[in-house]
C-alpha cells in the first residue's frame, strides 16, 4: 500500500519535472484524408466526417438536401498543443491547408474557418452566420475561447463584408479584420482548390495569412494579435463550418501543421532533481510492476466480468483465448498477415495448430470499443446459421479486445464484382450462377437475423465487403460490429446518436433520421443485389449532383425505358437466363423503394431469389422520396399482413 502511494508520488513529481523541461510541439502533415486519418482527428460530431479523401466540415451531399441545412460542424486534431506557458514561453506555428468549396444552392452558404480553440468539444450549435466558430449565446464572451480565420462565402448580417472574404475572428464571428478576395481574383466558392498558409510568430505576435497563387504566397492580411490573451495554454486546432438555408460543400483536402518545440530556460536544480527522481521512479516502477503483474495475473483477465457473464449465458459460447496465443498465431500481428481493415478494427490471418483463423483486433481508438465488443460477442455468440461468419472465440486482455473468426479463403465479395480494382483484373469474372447463389446465401443470413432468431437483429452495415466467401464460394455474412438487438415487443425503432453505416448503402430515410430499421437493412440488401447484377459500385446518393452515379437511379431509368436488362454486368457477356436477371434487378429496385413501407421483407426477398415467388412489381417511374412516408393503404396492409410484413408487426409510424 505504502509502496503504491510512493510510486504515485514519484510519478507525479517526475512528470512535473519533465513538464518543466519539455514543451509539447505539434507536427503533422495530412496529404489527404483517407480513413486512417480519422484515427487522428476528433470528428465525433455527426455533421463532420471524412469522405472522398477530404474533411467534409459540414454535411456532404450523400444525404437528403434537408440534412444539409442549418448545420454546423467541427473537426479538430486529436492532440492539443502548448500555445504558451506561465514562464513566458510563446509558441509559434505554421500551417498550410487546401480548401475547396462548392455551392449546393445558389447562392451557397455560409463558409468555413480555421480555428484555435480551448475545448475539444466538436458538438456545438453554431449554424448559419456563426460558421461553427461560436455559439450565438457565447457571442463576444471570453468563454468561447476560440480564434478563427474565417473564409466567409455569404454576407449574412449587416457588418459582414461580402460573400467572398477572409477575416480574423476572436470569440465572435464579427470580424476584427475583413479582407475581400474578389479584387485579388480569388473566388472561394468556385469549387477550386485554394491553398492557404497561416503563420504565427509567438514572440512578435504577428499573425499572417497568405493565399498561394501561381506558387507565390500572397499575403492577405497581417495582424498583431496576442493569442495567449484569448486562448488557454493548451489549444486544439482544426476547422469549423456551417450552413444555413443556403448550403455548400465545405471541404478541406490536405493540412499540415508545425509548431515550435522550444526549450525553456530551466533553473539549474532541475538538472539534478529530474535525474534523481527519474532513477527513483524507475526503481519504484520496477517494483510496482512486479507487484502489479502478480495481482494482474489473477485479476486482469477477469477485468471485465460482465463480458464473461454475458458470454457464459450461452452453452455453445465461443472459446476464450489468451492474448499470447493470438499474438503467436498472427506472427505478432505482422502487417504481412493483415487481411483488411473493418468497421472498427484490423483483421489478421492467424494459424492455430493446422487451422487458419481470422483475428480481429478491435481498435483501441474506437471510443465505443467496449460496448461494441460486448454487442458483437453477445450477438454472434448466440447465432448459428450456415451463412453467417462463425465466431470461434474472443479475448479481452491488456485492455485489448480481440475476436477470432473462421478464416474464409476467398475473402470478400467486392473484389470479385468490381472491375475498377487492380486485384480483380486477374480474377476471372464471377459467373451468374455463383452470383445468384452468393446473394441467396446472404439473403438467407439476413432473413435469419430478421426473422429466425428470438429477437430481431439488425445488421446495419450490409455491403459487398461484408459478404465473405469460403473455398466453395458460399456466402458468409460478417461484421456484426454495428448490430444491436431490438426486442420485438417494446421498441419500434432502434435509434442511434451517431450515424453509422456505409454511404451508398444507406436508405434515404436513415440518412435523414439517423435510425436503422428492418427496412433500412432491406434497402442496403437491395443495393447489394444491384451491385452484384450490374457489376458496379453503388455510387453517390446525391439526388441532384451525381444523379447517374447512383445505382438505384441508373437502373430505375433503364427500367422506365424498358431496357432493364441493359443494366446487367457486361462482363457476364450475356451468359445468364434473362428471366432470372430481370427478376433480380426488379427485386433490387423493390428493396430500394424510396418508401420504406413498400419494401419487401427479407422473407419475400429470399422466396424470390429461390424462384419460389415472383419479384414484387415496381412502378416504371422511380417514386420520389417523401418524409414521413405515406403509410400503406388498407388494401396493401391486408396483403402485407398476410405476408407477415415485419414493418406492420413492428408498428411503423
Ligand atoms: C493515407 O494517407 C497517408 C498520408 O496522409 C498515407 O501515408 C497512407 O498510406 C494512406 N493510407 C491509405 C490506406 O491510403
Ligand atoms: C468525442 O471523442 C472524444 C475522444 O475521442 C471523447 O473524449 C468525447 O467524449 C467525444 N464526444 C462526444 C460528444 O461523443
Ligand atoms: C509571451 O506572451 C506574453 C503575453 O501574452 C508576454 O507577457 C510574454 O512576455 C511573452 N514572452 C516572451 C518570451 O516573449
Ligand atoms: C514558419 O515558417 C517561417 C518561414 O518559412 C519560418 O521562419 C519559421 O521558423 C516557421 N515556424 C515554424 C514553427 O515552423
Ligand atoms: C443544439 O440545438 C438543438 C435544437 O436547437 C438541441 O436539440 C440540441 O440539444 C443542441 N445541442 C447542443 C449541444 O447544445
Ligand atoms: C455579437 O458580438 C459583436 C461584438 O460585440 C456585436 O457587434 C454583435 O452585434 C453581436 N451579435 C449578436 C447577434 O449578438
Ligand atoms: C464564385 O463562383 C461561383 C460558382 O462558379 C459563382 O456562382 C459565384 O457567383 C462566384 N462568386 C463571386 C464573388 O465571383
Ligand atoms: C508580420 O510578418 C509578415 C511576414 O511574415 C510581414 O510581412 C509583416 O510586415 C509583419 N507584420 C508586422 C505588423 O510586423
Ligand atoms: C429557412 O427556411 C425555412 C423554411 O423555408 C424558413 O421557415 C426559415 O425562416 C428560413 N430561415 C432563414 C434563416 O432564412
Ligand atoms: C507534406 O507532405 C508533402 C508530401 O510529402 C510535402 O510535399 C509537403 O511539402 C509537406 N508539407 C509540409 C508543410 O511540410
Ligand atoms: C517544424 O519547425 C521546426 C523548427 O521550428 C523545424 O525544425 C522542423 O523541420 C519543422 N518541420 C516541418 C515538417 O516543417
Atom of ligand 5 nearest to the CA of 123: 13
Q: Three-class SS of residue 420?
A: coil
Per-residue pLDDT of 179-228, as tens digits, reads 999 988 899 999 999 999 999 998 899 999 999 988 889 999 999 999 99
CA distance 221 to 310: 61
Instruction: Kindly tell me if the per-residue pLDDT of 465 is higher than 50.
Output: yes
String of DSSP letters for 119-180 = ---------GGGTTTS-GGGTT-GGG-EEEEEEE-S--STT---SSEEEEEESSSS-SEEEE
Nearest residue CA, atom 10 of ligand 1?
34
pLDDT top residue among 523 and 215: 523
Q: Is 36 exposed, middle or buried (0-12, 13-18, 19+ CB in 10 A)?
A: exposed
Please name the residue ranges forming H helices in 547-577. 551-560
Q: What is the band of 112 on the pLDDT scale with cuts at 50, 70, 90?
A: very high
* Residue in this structure with the C-alpha cell 451525381, named with its chain if needed: 546
Catalytic residue positions, numbered: 461
Which atom of ligand 2 is the closest one to the Cα of 44?
1
- Whether 432 shows a pLDDT value over 90: the answer reads yes
Identify the residue with better confidence: 313 or 123. 123
Confidence of residue 417 (pLDDT cuts 50, 70, 90): confident
Residue owning the nearest CA to atom 10 of ligand 9:
245
- Which CATH number is associated with domain 427-644? 1.10.510.10
Mean pLDDT of 541-547: 49
Q: Which residue has the higher pLDDT, 158 or 273?
A: 158
- Determine the Cα–Cα distance for residues 116 and 132; give it in Å rounded to an integer: 12
What number is the average pLDDT over the span 89-110?
91
Q: Categorize the per-residue pLDDT at 485 as very low, low, confident or very high, splitting at 50, 70 and 90.
A: very low
What are the tens digits of pLDDT across the range 341-399? 766 678 999 998 888 999 988 776 554 556 666 666 777 777 888 999 888 888 888 77
245 in contact with ligand 9, CB cutoff 6 A: yes
Which ligand 3 atom sits closest to the C-alpha of 228? Answer: 5
The model's pLDDT over 124-142, given as tens digits with 9 standing for 90+, comes to 889 999 999 999 999 988 8
Reply yes or no on whether the pLDDT at 491 is more than 80: no
Structural domain boundaries in the chain: 2-10+268-299, 24-260, 306-406, 427-644
492, burial (CB in 10 Å: exposed 0-12, middle 13-18, buried 19+):
middle
pLDDT, mean of residues 296-308: 46
Nearest CA to ligand 8 atom 9: 222
Angle at 361 between CA 253 and CA 378, to 5 degrees: 115
* Ranges 247-251, 263-267, 499-503, 585-589: which has the least confidence: 263-267
- 479 versus 249: the higher-pLDDT residue is 249
Compute the distance between CA of residue 20 and CA of residue 14 in angstroms, rounded to an integer: 10
**CATH number 3.30.200.20 given to 306-406:** yes
Q: Is 36 in the pocket of ligand 1 (CB under 6 A)?
A: yes
**CA 444, CA 175: separation in Å to the nearest integer?**
59
- Give me the chain's average pLDDT, please: 80
Quick: pLDDT tens for 309-324: 544 444 466 788 899 9
Residues near 202 by beta carbon (within 8 Å), at least 6 away in sequence: 83, 84, 89, 90, 91, 92, 93, 227, 260
Residue 338 in marked binding region? no
Give the per-residue pLDDT at 319.
Answer: 83
CA 506, CA 522: separation in Å to the nearest integer?
Answer: 10
Question: Residue 242: pLDDT above 90?
Answer: yes
Parallel/antiparallel/unpaired status of strands 391-397 and 319-320: parallel
- Count CB-CB contacts under 10 A for residue 369: 17
Quote the pTM value: 0.53
pLDDT at 489 over 80: no
| CA 200 – ligand 5 centroid, Å | 34
Query: Which of these ranges, 58-72, 152-166, 492-506, has the smallest mean pLDDT?
Result: 492-506
334 lines ligand 7 (CB under 6 A): no
pLDDT of residue 496: 39
The answer, yes or no, to whether residue 553 has pLDDT greater than 50, is yes
Ligand 6 centroid from CA 242, angstroms:
18
Alpha carbon distances (Å) from 314 to 308, 311, 384, 396, 451: 11, 6, 12, 18, 20
Q: Calculate what percentage of the chain has a pLDDT beyond 90.
A: 42
pLDDT band at 493 (very low <50, low <70, confident <90, very high): very low
* pLDDT band with cut points at 50, 70 and 90 for residue 274: low
Q: State the greatest distance between any 2 C-alpha atoms of the chain, in Å, as a whole number.
A: 88
Using the predicted structure, report yes or no on whether residue 590 has a pLDDT greater than 80: yes
Residue 47 — left, alpha, or beta (φ > 0 → left; ψ -120 to 50 → alpha)?
alpha
Average pLDDT of span 250-258: 95
pLDDT at 370: 61
> Is residue 70 lining ligand 9, measured as CB closer than 6 Å?
no
**Ligand 11 pocket residues where CB is under 6 Å:** 27, 258, 260
CATH topology of domain 24-260: Jelly Rolls (2.60.120)
For residues 605-620, give the mean pLDDT.
Answer: 93
- 168 Cβ contact partners less than 8 Å away, ≥ 6 residues apart: 147, 148, 149, 150, 175, 176, 177, 207, 209, 221, 223, 225
Phi, psi of 162 (to 5 degrees): -160, -165
Residues 464-476 as b or e (16 or more Cβ within 10 Å = b): bbbbbbbeebbbb
Q: Please indicate whether the domains covering 24-260 and 427-644 agree at the CATH topology level.
A: no
- Give the C-alpha separation, 345 to 363, whole Å: 5
Picking from 522, 540, 508, 505, the residue whose alpha carbon sits closest to that of residue 442 is 522
Amino acid at each position: 500500500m505504502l509502496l503504491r502511494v510512493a510510486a504515485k508520488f514519484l510519478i507525479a513529481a517526475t512528470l512535473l519535472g519533465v513538464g518543466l523541461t519539455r514543451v509539447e510541439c505539434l507536427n503533422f502533415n495530412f496529404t489527404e484524408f483517407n480513413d486512417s486519418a480519422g484515427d487522428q482527428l476528433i470528428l465525433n460530431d455527426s455533421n463532420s466526417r471524412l469522405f472522398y479523401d477530404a474533411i467534409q466540415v459540414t454535411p456532404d451531399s450523400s444525404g437528403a438536401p434537408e440534412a444539409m441545412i442549418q448545420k454546423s460542424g467541427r473537426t479538430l486534431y486529436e492532440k492539443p498543443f502548448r500555445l504558451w506557458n506561465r514562464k513566458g514561453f510563446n509558441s509559434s506555428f505554421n500551417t498550410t491547408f487546401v480548401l475547396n468549396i462548392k455551392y449546393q444552392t445558389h447562392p451557397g452558404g455560409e463558409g468555413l474557418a480555421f480555428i484555435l480553440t480551448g475545448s475539444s468539444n466538436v458538438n456545438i450549435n453554431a449554424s448559419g452566420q456563426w460558421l461553427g466558430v461560436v455559439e450565438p449565446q457565447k457571442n463576444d464572451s471570453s468563454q468561447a475561447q476560440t480564434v478563427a480565420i474565417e473564409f466567409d462565402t455569404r454576407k449574412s448580417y449587416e457588418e459582414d463584408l461580402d460573400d467572398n472574404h477572409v477575416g480574423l475572428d476572436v470569440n465572435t464571428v464579427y470580424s476584427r479584420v475583413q479582407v475581400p478576395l474578389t479584387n485579388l481574383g480569388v473566388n472561394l466558392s468556385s469549387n477550386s482548390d485554394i491553398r492557404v498558409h497561416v503563420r504565427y510568430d509567438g514572440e512578435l505576435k504577428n499573425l499572417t495569412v497568405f493565399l498561394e497563387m501561381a506558387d507565390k504566397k500572397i499575403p492577405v492580411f497581417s495582424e498583431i494579435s496576442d493569442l495567449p490573451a484569448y486562448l488557454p495554454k493548451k489549444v486544439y486546432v482544426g476547422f469549423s463550418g456551417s450552413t444555413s438555408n443556403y448550403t455548400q460543400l465545405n471541404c478541406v483536402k490536405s493540412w499540415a501543421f508545425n509548431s515550435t518545440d522550444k526549450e525553456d530556460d530551466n533553473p539549474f536544480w532541475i538538472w539534478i532533481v529530474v535525474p534523481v527522481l527519474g532513477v527513483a521512479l524507475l526503481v519504484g516502477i520496477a517494483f510496482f510492476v512486479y507487484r502489479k503483474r502478480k495481482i494482474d495475473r489473477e485479476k486482469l483477465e477477469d477485468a471485465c466480468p460482465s463480458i464473461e457473464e454475458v458470454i457464459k449465458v450461452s452453452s455453445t459460447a465461443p472459446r476464450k483465448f489468451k492474448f499470447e496465443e493470438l499474438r503467436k498465431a498472427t506472427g505478432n500481428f505482422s502487417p504481412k498477415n493483415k487481411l483488411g481493415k473493418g468497421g472498427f478494427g484490423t483483421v489478421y490471418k492467424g494459424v492455430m495448430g493446422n487451422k487458419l483463423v481470422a483475428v480481429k483486433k478491435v481498435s483501441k481508438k474506437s471510443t465505443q470499443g467496449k460496448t461494441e465488443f460486448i454487442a458483437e460477442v453477445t450477438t454472434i455468440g448466440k447465432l448459428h446459421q450456415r451463412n453467417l461468419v462463425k465466431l470461434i472465440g474472443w479475448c479481452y486482455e491488456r485492455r485489448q479486445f480481440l475476436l477470432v473468426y473462421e478464416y474464409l479463403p476467398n475473402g470478400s465479395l467486392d473484389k470479385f464484382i468490381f472491375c475498377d480494382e487492380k486485384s480483380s483484373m486477374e480474377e476471372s469474372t464471377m459467373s451468374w450462377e455463383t452470383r445468384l447463389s452468393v446473394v441467396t446465401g446472404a439473403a438467407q443470413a439476413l432473413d435469419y437475423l430478421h426473422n429466425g432468431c428470438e429477437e430481431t437483429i439488425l445488421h446495419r452495415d450490409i455491403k459487398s465487403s461484408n459478404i465473405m466467401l469460403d473455398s466453395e464460394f458460399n456466402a458468409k455474412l460478417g461484421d456484426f460490429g454495428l448490430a444491436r438487438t431490438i426486442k420485438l415487443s417494446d421498441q419500434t425503432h432502434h435509434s442511434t446518436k451517431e450515424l453509422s453505416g456505409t454511404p451508398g448503402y444507406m436508405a434515404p430515410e436513415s440518412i435523414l433520421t439517423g435510425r436503422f430499421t428492418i427496412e433500412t437493412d432491406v434497402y442496403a440488401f437491395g443495393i447489394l443485389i444491384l451491385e452484384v447484377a450490374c457489376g458496379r459500385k453503388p455510387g453517390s446518393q446525391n439526388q441532384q449532383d451525381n444523379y447517374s452515379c447512383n445505382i438505384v437511379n441508373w437502373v430505375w431509368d433503364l427500367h422506365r425505358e424498358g431496357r432493364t436488362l441493359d443494366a446487367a454486368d457486361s462482363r457476364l457477356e450475356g451468359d445468364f437466363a434473362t428471366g432470372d436477371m430481370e427478376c433480380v434487378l426488379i427485386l433490387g429496385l423493390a428493396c430500394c423503394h424510396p418508401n420504406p413501407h413498400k419494401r419487401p421483407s427479407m422473407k419475400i426477398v429470399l422466396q424470390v431469389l429461390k424462384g419460389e415467388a415472383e419479384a414484387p412489381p415496381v412502378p416504371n417511374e422511380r417514386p420520389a422520396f417523401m418524409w414521413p412516408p405515406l403509410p400503406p393503404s388498407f388494401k396493401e396492409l391486408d396483403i402485407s399482413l398476410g405476408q407477415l410484413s415485419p414493418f406492420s408487426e413492428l408498428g411503423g409510424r
